[in-house]
């Protein structure tokens, strides 16, 4: 149905020419899901967006190639001709449903406008059609919610709206660009299921772009692996997963977290005891009970995984322990001290013993401070080093987190996401803390980078003798690192167990549901059996 | 929403009090008084006049009695126009000024909005540079200069439009409105260009294009609403600025508006007229700021829910 041949795209800027897509060929067949896999910067999104003329030009230039869609070369069409195909024959679903819907328009208006434009449908018919589609993609009570604005929907629901929007003109080909990357694991599995169902029912072709092999392990028919603008391997799903040829494909497969940390620690005394912790946020009427009566211990030297969907209160617990938010009720006892009762001065003394690693390394580093300044700041602030000795400590820290010493004078924007997270980890470890809260430290990163950072955290944890609270929505990641896991739902503890036990004998239905949403379960099982 | 409005109204009270107090004492600092003149006046007459206008009291007594009158909405008698109260004078001049400001705002919005949007569609091209350079000139050129230039070109050389008056001949409102509005048009052009550029780089614009909508629909349906919010938020302060800044244009074009009374009052040391106009304009500024904040919030669905909450 779609045949892309020898596609090359360059971005011409003042700095130079960047060949984003280099002689790429692939095809998409009707009734099949074709996945393009690659890290950020591999050119996968650029290649697909160029088919519909959606890359910014300049600086983007399509240098060469053909893209035959039902025999028509998309790359030769005029803007007006392309526009007739966009949204009608070929539709797109984008990554971030939070920013891809217009916040100023009701979802009904956004759904129907392309139907009204392409098929000249009447307002009433279009609305009727939109309600049916919303029903089909699993929006509850579509007849009334159709007049709501995007901010009134959750992330998963917005992505369903995006999918309905893409389907409204009955496209033959659906291009889905990382459609589940911004979503929780459980929501991700629902959206993947929805896409697979739609593909079967409507017999359309889907081109699925992702950085994560595990995500498409259950649904893709054909897989194309891209690296640095080139296609390195193409094959069926079983080819890629069971008989990968290219080194890079093997590396991607190896990066999927599969192993489970075996609890090796003898039981020590708890470093942190959390008793009946409640953190409520004041809202107009009833308080939002983000954390509601949570109790658990964190033992010295262990990594405790804290797992739950977004809104389950896991980040709030991390922030409550460090007193970054005000606790409503309950106690947090750190090494015999009740943190919840401390005044600001005593708290400052404790700050150097407990640190925080944030999710988004782009937002959490000060863009106007060099790496050196970022790492030196906590050392000087807590009086651990003075001006004369700080530089050796900073350089040693950079060695530890795997940053070249020559980077010391660079600013955050000059680094990739993985390198930035290394800086953030370095900053957290600078004061040699005993306890670190890591809040989704790898969820903004590509899979291979994710694996590197997890390994780094494991090594540093051992070296520094750290106690860690590792917060994540992704069970597969957590179990690689955590000795024990606490599962949260709606601000309450649902289950806690050692990682091995939690995965082999989940006790509650919620935990079972979470385990079932891990992408590529089948793959994991076969791989574990294989090992 | 009513709570929000009520809260903002309360905030306005101390602001206005400060304005009243500062103005009251500042004008007294200026040398001379309302009844000083070249000709010597018989001391008895002078004393009688001062007694009539309470100028014989101490400054603080005058201040207190003025505040007392003000609390009843009474701005006092004019010192220079015997027999007429400041309330009457404002009531006579304000409608003319308001009409002029309204036309000027319309000119600013239409010219500025179109120029800004056009410039934003092709940033860093001729289509961007020309309107933005004109806008820069518009901001830099005072109406003191622009007014006479427009009069020369359109009134005298081309003889298309009347050069003075208000409601006297057809078209006599065009030149003053353009003169007054041009600086604001320039400002609105810059605001709307920035707003549109911001919105056009959003993901949802790409979504709209991916739907196959033609570019003009992408702009008119998807981009304008978000891109114009900064402009809407600016309209309130702009209207207030037009009202209070119209005296130059009113003087150039011989328009009997509030601005001219205001300036003359300052020369005449017409204490009550200066105070009254200042308070009146300050109240309007506060009111229009509040109004445009509410409208801008109302245009954003996310904030609208918060406004609706009691």
Helices B86-121, B229-244: inter-axial angle, 10-degree rounding:
140
Low-confidence ranges of chain A (pLDDT < 70): 259-267, 283-285, 521-531
B201-234 residue pLDDT tens: 888 998 999 988 888 999 999 999 889 888 988 9
Tell me if A102 and B299 make a contact (CB, 8 A cut-off): no
Whole-complex ipTM: 0.75
User: Residue A473: which of A462, A457, A485 has the closest Cα?
Assistant: A485
| Angstroms from B74 CA to nearest CA on chain A | 41
What domains can be seen in chain B, in order of their start residue?
86-308 (1.10.3720.10)
Domain locations along chain A: 2-97+171-254, 272-530
Q: Same fold for the domain at A2-97+171-254 and the one at A272-530? A: yes
What are the C-alpha distances in Å from A20 to residues A23, A42, A61, A78, A230?
10, 7, 10, 23, 9
Q: Which long-range contacts (CB under 8 A, 24 or more apart) does B91-95 make?
A: B92/B256, B93/B256, B93/B257, B93/B258, B93/B259, B93/B260, B93/B261, B94/B257, B94/B258, B94/B280
The pLDDT of B109-117, averaged and rounded, is 92
User: Which residues from chain A sit within 8 angstroms of residue B211, using beta carbons?
Assistant: 86-87, 91, 113-114, 117, 165
For residue B278 the two structure tokens come to: 């200042």
Could you identify the residue written with the tokens 């050392």?
A379
Given this model, what pLDDT does residue A263 score? Answer: 59
Domain with residues A272-530, CATH architecture: 3-Layer(aba) Sandwich (3.40)
Residue B257's pLDDT band (cuts 50, 70, 90): confident
Of A99, A103, A165, nearest to B302 by CB-CB distance is: A103
Which DSSP symbol is given to A39? -
DSSP string, A322-344: TTSS---EEEEEETTEEGGG--H
- Interface with chain A: mutation pick from B3, B211, B218, highest number of A CBs within 10 Å: B211
Query: At A29, is the secondary structure helix, strand, or coil?
Result: coil
Q: Which residue has the higher pLDDT, B131 or A184?
A: B131
B58-100 residue pLDDT tens: 888 888 888 888 888 888 888 777 778 888 888 888 899 999 9
Residue B309's pLDDT band (cuts 50, 70, 90): low
Tell me if B208 and A102 make a contact (CB, 8 A cut-off): yes
Among all residues of chain B, which has the CA nearest to that of A95?
B203
Given this model, what pLDDT does residue A522 score? Answer: 63
User: Which residues from chain A sit within 8 angstroms of residue B299, using beta carbons?
Assistant: 104
Given this model, what pLDDT does residue A18 score? Answer: 82
For chain A, list residues whose CB is within 8 angstroms of any CB belonging to chain B: 52, 54, 83-88, 91-92, 94, 96, 99-105, 113-114, 117-118, 149, 151, 162, 165, 284
Among all residues of chain A, which has the CA nearest to that of B222?
A102
Lateral strand order in the sheet of A17-28? A17-28, A2-12, A60-69, A72-73
User: Which residues from chain B sit within 8 angstroms of residue A284, using beta carbons?
Assistant: 309
For chain B, list residues whose CB is within 8 angstroms of any CB belonging to chain A: 202-204, 206-214, 217, 221-222, 225-226, 299-302, 309
CATH 3.90.740.10 fits A2-97+171-254, yes or no: no
User: Which residues from chain B sit within 8 angstroms of residue A103, using beta carbons?
Assistant: 204, 226, 300-302
Of A85, A103, A117, nearest to B301 by CB-CB distance is: A103
Q: What is the rounded average pLDDT for all residues in chain B?
A: 85
Among all residues of chain B, which has the CA nearest to that of A166?
B211
CA distance A106 to A138: 18
User: Which residues from chain B sit within 8 angstroms of residue A84, using beta carbons?
Assistant: 212
């Amino acid at each position: 149905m779609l045949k892309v041949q020898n596609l090359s795209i360059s971005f011409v800027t003042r700095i130079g020419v960047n060949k984003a897509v280099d002689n790429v060929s692939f095809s998409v067949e009707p009734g099949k899901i074709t996945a393009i896999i690659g890290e950020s910067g591999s050119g996968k999104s650029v290649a697909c967006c160029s088919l519909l003329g959606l890359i910014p030009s300049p600086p983007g230039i399509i240098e060469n190639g053909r893209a035959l869609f039902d025999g028509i070369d998309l790359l030769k069409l005029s803007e007006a001709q392309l526009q007739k195909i966009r949204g009608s024959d070929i539709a797109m679903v984008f990554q971030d449903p939070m920013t891809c819907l217009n916040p100023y328009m009701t979802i009904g208006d956004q759904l129907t406008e392309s139907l009204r434009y392409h098929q000249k449908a009447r307002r009433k018919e279009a609305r009727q059609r939109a309600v049916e589609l919303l029903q089909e993609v699993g929006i509850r009570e579509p007849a009334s919610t159709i007049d709501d604005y995007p901010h009134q929907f959750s992330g998963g629901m917005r992505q369903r709206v995006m999918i309905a929007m893409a389907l409204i003109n009955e496209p033959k080909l659906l291009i889905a660009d990382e459609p589940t990357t911004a979503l929780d694991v459980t929501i991700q599995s629902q959206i993947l299921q929805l896409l697979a169902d739609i593909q079967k029912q409507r017999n359309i072709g889907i081109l699925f772009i992702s950085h994560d092999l595990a995500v498409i392990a259950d649904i893709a028919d054909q897989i194309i692996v891209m690296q640095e603008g080139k296609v390195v391997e193409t094959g069926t799903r079983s080819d890629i997963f069971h008989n990968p040829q290219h080194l890079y494909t093997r590396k991607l497969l190896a990066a999927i977290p599969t192993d489970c940390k075996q609890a090796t620690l003898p039981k020590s005394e708890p470093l942190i005891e959390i008793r009946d912790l409640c953190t409520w946020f004041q809202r107009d009427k009833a308080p939002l009970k983000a954390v509601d009566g949570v109790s658990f211990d964190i033992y010295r030297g262990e990594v405790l995984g804290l797992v739950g969907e977004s809104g389950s209160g896991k980040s709030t617990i991390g922030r409550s322990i460090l007193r970054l938010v005000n606790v409503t009720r309950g106690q947090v006892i750190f090494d015999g001290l009740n943190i919840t009762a401390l005044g600001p001065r005593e708290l400052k003394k404790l700050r150097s013993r407990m640190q925080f690693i944030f999710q988004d390394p782009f937002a959490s580093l000060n863009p106007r401070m060099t790496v050196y300044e970022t790492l030196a700041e906590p050392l000087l602030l807590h009086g651990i080093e003075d001006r004369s000795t700080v530089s050796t400590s900073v350089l040693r820290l950079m060695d530890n987190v795997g940053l070249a010493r020559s980077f010391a004078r660079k600013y955050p924007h000059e680094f990739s996401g993985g390198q930035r997270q290394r800086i953030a980890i370095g900053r957290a470890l600078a004061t040699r803390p005993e306890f670190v809260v890591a809040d989704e430290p790898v969820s903004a990163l590509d899979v291979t980078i994710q694996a590197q950072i997890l390994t780094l955290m494991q090594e540093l944890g051992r070296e520094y003798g750290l106690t860690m609270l590792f917060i994540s929505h992704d069970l597969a990641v957590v179990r690689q690192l955590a000795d024990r896991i606490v599962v949260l739902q709606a601000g309450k503890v649902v289950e806690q167990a050692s990682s091995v036990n939690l995965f082999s004998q989940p006790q509650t239905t919620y935990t079972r549901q979470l385990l079932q949403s891990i992408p590529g379960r089948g793959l994991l099982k076969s791989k574990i059996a294989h090992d | 929403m009513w709570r929000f409005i009520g809260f903002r109204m309360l905030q306005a009270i101390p602001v206005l009090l400060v304005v009243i107090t500062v103005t009251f004492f500042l004008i007294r600092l200026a040398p001379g008084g309302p009844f000083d003149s070249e000709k010597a006046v018989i001391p008895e007459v002078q004393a009688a006049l001062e007694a009539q206008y309470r100028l014989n009291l101490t400054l603080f007594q005058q201040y207190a009695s003025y505040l007392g009158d003000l609390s009843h909405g009474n701005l006092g008698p004019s010192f220079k126009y015997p027999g007429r109260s400041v309330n009457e004078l404002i009531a006579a001049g304000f409608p003319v000024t308001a009409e002029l400001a309204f036309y000027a705002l319309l000119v600013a919005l239409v010219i500025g909005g179109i120029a800004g949007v056009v410039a934003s569609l092709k940033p860093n091209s001729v289509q961007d540079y020309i309107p933005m350079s004109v806008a820069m000139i518009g901001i830099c050129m005072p109406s003191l200069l622009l007014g006479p230039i427009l009069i020369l070109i359109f009134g005298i050389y081309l003889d298309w439009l009347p050069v003075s008056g208000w409601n006297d001949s057809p078209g006599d409102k065009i030149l003053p409105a353009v003169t007054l509005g041009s600086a604001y048009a320039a400002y609105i052009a810059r605001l709307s260009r920035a707003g549109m550029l911001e919105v056009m780089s959003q993901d949802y614009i790409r979504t709209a294009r991916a739907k196959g909508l033609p570019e003009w629909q992408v702009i008119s349906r998807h981009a304008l609403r978000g891109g114009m919010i900064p402009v809407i938020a600016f309209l309130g302060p702009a209207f207030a600025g037009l009202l209070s800044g119209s005296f130059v244009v009113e003087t150039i074009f011989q328009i009997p508006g509030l601005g001219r009374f205001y300036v003359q009052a300052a020369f005449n040391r017409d204490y009550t007229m200066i105070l009254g106009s200042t308070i009146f304009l300050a109240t309007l500024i506060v009111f229009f700021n509040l109004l445009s904040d509410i409208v801008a919030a109302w245009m954003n669905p996310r904030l609208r829910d918060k406004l609706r909450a009691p």
